[in-house]
Amino acid sequence: MQVKETLAEGLKHEFQISVPASDIDAKIDARLDEMKDKVRLNGFRPGKVPAAHLKKVYGRSVAAETVDQLIRDTNTQLFTERGFRLATEPKITMPTEAKEIEEVLSGKSDLNYSVAIEVVPAIQLADFKTFNVEKPVAEVTDADVDEALKRIADQNRPYAAKAEGAKAESGDRVTVAFKGTIDGVAFDGGTGEDIQVVIGSGTFIPGFEDQLIGIGVGETRTVKASFPKNYTAANLAGKDAEFETTASAIEAPQESKIDEEFAKNLGMESLDKLKEAMRDRLVQEFAGATRQRVKRLLLDRLDEAHKFDPPPSLVDDEFNLMWNSIKAEMDSASKTFADENTTEEAAKEEYRKIADRRVRLGLVLSEIGEKNKITVTDDEVSRAVIDRARQMPGREKEVWDYYRSNPNALAQLRAPIYEDKVVDFILELATVTEKKVSREDLLKDDDSEKTAA
């Protein structure tokens, strides 16, 4: 076997490889010899099929399999000897001329092919004992519990019919019947009877609810609205529709009382028990927020400590994934980059930086896990699947079967578990100090979140 490196540019390498015809022929003969005792052909006793006849019957398929395996073995040996860790699958360029391919498969010609690869750079890990990480923590106060209960009460507030002749206002609940058309033609799902609409809730397609303001009981009006571009029904997405809408009832929201009866309506023994359950839920919520903040700060520290050029193809893939998502979101919301006070060029530059960071952090976390033998067990993945199934009552078996038959979906569950285990490993070595913060500071949005690994 002859190997000639034809390109060594940064993380990209290309090789021209030549495998002698004699090596290919020897491997084909060895494979046919293995098959001799297993093949059953009419007219021949087991193990007595002449090699020439066996080659005539199976030679071409065995040759193709042998060449394919030879390429894989040759590439593996080449990458191992040179200490390469591949960032992407190798790109192999084979002969394209039919005559040349036939001569290779028949053992008359050497196999000549090229392979292009992109490798992961060597990563020098930082000393995590030198890391200082601030852990923001917030206590759950009585005011927090009261505010959470008020939100629940608002979601479950009663409504009462408005006086005769009253008109609908924002926040009112209007019961309507409607018939929808697109270009004058009715469409599936466009008809509804006794449908309750809370004006301002954002439950219906954009523009529908606002046009109910001022409507009265028994009144019919034409509501014009457009389906979002990313609407689930592809045949309706982005279409303009008209709805002949008649109101049959108008109700105003009433004051919600947070008392013993309210608690019992929610299935709790008493108001005290409801407050206790709400406090426990908020404690978990705050703990989750603290965890996310600490993880984000740690990732920032890892980013600062590990500066290197990641494989360009991985960055391109990550950027394209994000960019396509951003464009889809903007299109569905009918927004432009000017609406976001930026330009498409500036936005691309920003998201390419984010893609670079994500890829680097992913490689760093992988390196840490590999060097410290951090793994995710099958039991941990199974527990994650069970958690997902529990989130969909009545469809548990469907969820379980989906993950059992979909390796890529399982890999998506395994990845965050692995990342969290690596993060925990680093935090055990780092110096972590707690800092008391307010609930608002703990839960506030942070632009850096989108840059996390």
C-alpha distance from residue 225 to each of 195, 207, 315 (Å): 17, 5, 40
| Phi, psi values for residue 244, rounded to 5° | -75, 110
Report the alpha-carbon distance of residue 311 to residue 309 in Å, rounded.
7
437, 136 Cβ separation under 8 angstroms: yes
Percentage of the chain modeled with pLDDT above 90: 66
Amino acid 41: pLDDT: 59
Can you read off the two tokens belonging to residue 252?
A: 């105003």
Q: How confident is the model at residue 48 (pLDDT cuts 50, 70, 90)?
A: low
Report the alpha-carbon distance of residue 67 to residue 62 in Å, rounded.
9
Residues 297-315 pLDDT 10s: 999 999 999 999 999 999 9
Residues 193-250 pLDDT 10s: 999 999 999 999 999 999 999 999 999 999 999 998 878 888 898 899 999 999 999 9
Amino acid 44: pLDDT: 59
Burial class (CB in 10 A: 0-12, 13-18, 19+), 143: exposed
Full set of structural domains in the chain with CATH? 2-118 (3.30.70.1050), 158-253 (3.10.50.40), 274-451 (1.10.3120.10)
Taking the CB of residue 2, how many other CB atoms lie within 10 A of it? Answer: 10
| Phi, psi values for residue 12, rounded to 5° | -100, 135
Per the listing, tokens 């530059």 go with 349
139, 440 Cβ separation under 8 angstroms: no
Q: Count Cα neighbours of 29 within 13 Å in the Cβ-side half-sphere.
A: 9
Residues 56-110 pLDDT 10s: 656 567 778 888 888 999 999 999 999 999 998 999 998 877 787 877 777 778 8
- Torsion angle of C-alpha atoms 31, 37, 38, 44, degrees rounded to 10: 120
Helix or strand holding residue 31 (H, E): helix 21-35
**Mean pLDDT throughout 142-150?**
94
Can you read off the two tokens belonging to residue 281?
A: 């839920």
CA angle 162, 168, 174 (to 5 degrees): 80
Report the alpha-carbon distance of residue 64 to residue 123 in Å, rounded.
39
Report the alpha-carbon distance of residue 245 to residue 211 in Å, rounded.
10
Q: How confident is the model at residue 294 (pLDDT cuts 50, 70, 90)?
A: very high
Residue 46 has pLDDT above 70, yes or no: no
Amino acid 272: pLDDT: 95
C-alpha distance from residue 205 to each of 103, 228, 246 (Å): 65, 7, 17
Residue 162 has pLDDT above 80, yes or no: yes
Can you read off the two tokens belonging to residue 244?
A: 């002949």
Residues 101-125 pLDDT 10s: 877 777 778 889 999 999 999 999 9
